[in-house]
Amino acid sequence: MLGFGQKTGAAVPDPSDELALLPDDVSVIMVFTLDIEAASLPPVIAQLGRRFARHKLVFVHSALDFRPFMESKTAFEVLPSFDQMAAFPDLVNWPRYLEDRRALLLSKWRPRRAIAYGYDLQGYADEAARRFGGRA
């Protein structure tokens, strides 16, 4: 946090520790629903919520419709869809952006497990690299 509020000589915490949102004893499962229509997600959210009731589920998706997550009070993260990347192909280097987001999400949530419906994050980044190359 840029050193604000720290006393001189105080130990600086590891940046990945600063990013973590939850204590270490909370088991997080990251669920990838990338390139999946939001309308098909409510049954998936409900089923996984029942099956993994003792875990914190964090959905990573690419639809702009957040209602399924908000209605079920489920944590979610949003990545740009392939259509959004195609609309702005030269905005950023999309494969690199997805690599950076992956690192951030892993530091922030520290998932112990992952479930993918369709693309996982690496597959999504690979497909972005195939479609958009290394444009910057």
| pTM for this prediction | 0.82
Flag whether pLDDT at 33 surpasses 50. Answer: yes
Domain coverage including residue 111: 25-133
Is residue 14 assigned to a domain?
Answer: no
Q: What is the pLDDT of residue 24?
A: 84
Strands across the sheet containing 75-78: 75-78, 56-61, 28-33, 113-116
**pLDDT 10s digits, 83-111:** 999 999 889 999 999 999 999 999 999 99
Flag whether pLDDT at 112 surpasses 70. Answer: yes
Domain with 64 in it: what CATH number?
Answer: 3.40.50.80
Is residue 1 assigned to a domain?
Answer: no
**pLDDT 10s digits, 67-84:** 999 999 999 999 999 999
Is residue 9 assigned to a domain?
Answer: no
Is residue 92 assigned to a domain?
Answer: yes
Q: Would you place residue 2 in the very low, low, confident or very high pLDDT band (cuts 50, 70, 90)?
A: very low
Is residue 95 assigned to a domain?
Answer: yes
Please state the domain count of the chain: 1
Is residue 18 assigned to a domain?
Answer: no
Pairing relationship of beta strands 28-33 and 56-61 according to DSSP bridges: parallel
- Let me know if 88 is exposed, middle or buried by CB neighbors in 10 A (0-12, 13-18, 19+): exposed
Is residue 112 assigned to a domain?
Answer: yes
Flag whether pLDDT at 48 surpasses 60. Answer: yes
3-state secondary structure the chain: CCCCCCCCCCCCCCHHHHHCCCCCCCCEEEEEEECCCHHHCHHHHHHHHHHCCCCEEEEEECCCCCHHHHHCCCEEEECCCHHHHHHCCCCCCHHHHHHHHHHHHHHHHCCCEEEECCECHHHHHHHHHHHHCCCC
